[in-house]
Amino acid sequence: MRLFFEVAYKGTNYHGWQIQQNAVTVQGEINKVISTICQQDINITGSGRTDTGVHCEQQFFHADIDSTWSLEDLQFKMNSMLPFDIAINSICEVNKESHSRFDAISRTYEYRINTKKNPFLKDESYYYNKPLDIPVMNQAATLLTHSEQDFECFSKIKTEVNHFRCNITNAEWKKENDILIFNITANRFLRGMVRAIVGTLIEVGLKKITIADFAEIIASKDRTKAGRAAPPEGLFLTTVSYPKDIFK
């Protein structure tokens, strides 16, 4: 049967989600544990990938399991064997054709900037104490949500994709006490896209570039025109959404 697993992890100690040789990854750790429990080689398929040091509050992966374990016992056993910074939050059965990556209809990320030095947030936020003009940054962010657009300017240069078009439905900054939070939702994201957007919007907030400049960067489709990528520790994948009819 095909199962969907909901997973959360702290990315500090991992070279991202995707399995790779000579590196510790989230997918690699889960593959080892689930294969050991089910006594068969299982390669999980994730709803997407995260880079080194990026965190995740909700990610999904699917696997085809031939096992007598109940879903509750499988979840308990996986959590007891996985490192403490990886947690399986739920498991459910889905239709055989369901795919954790291709069936996802939207993904939401948050980027968190801590404006006050806090040792307890060192690995879970970007410490940045220069004053930023949040209203102007939000004005620029609205340019991201004009229906489907080509965002090659915010994509890593060496990436294997068929196109650079994404439909961003929400992009907004808000402040909660000492934390600035950028929330962004889209049908898909390019590699390094959110961190590049955040880095460029920070330049808007510093008045280094104008809203008009930001629009020109999008139109240029040129990564060298955009700002540097914000550090990975501030980025969280928070939500992945699916149509209800894929679940049994």
Enumerate the active-site residues.
51
For β-strands 126-127 and 168-176, DSSP reports them as: unpaired
Report the distance separating Cα 35 and Cα 63, nearest Å. 11
- The CA–CA distances, whole Å, from 168 to 4, 117, 151 equal 25, 32, 10
Contact between residue 89 and residue 79 where contact means Cβ atoms under 8 Å apart: no
Helices (H), 114-210: 134-141, 193-205
Question: Which residues does 219 contact at the CB level (< 8 Å), separation at least 6?
Answer: none
Which among 21, 123, 10 has a CA at the least distance from the CA of 59?
Answer: 10
Contact between residue 94 and residue 4 where contact means Cβ atoms under 8 Å apart: yes
- The CA–CA distances, whole Å, from 123 to 57, 229, 234 equal 14, 17, 8
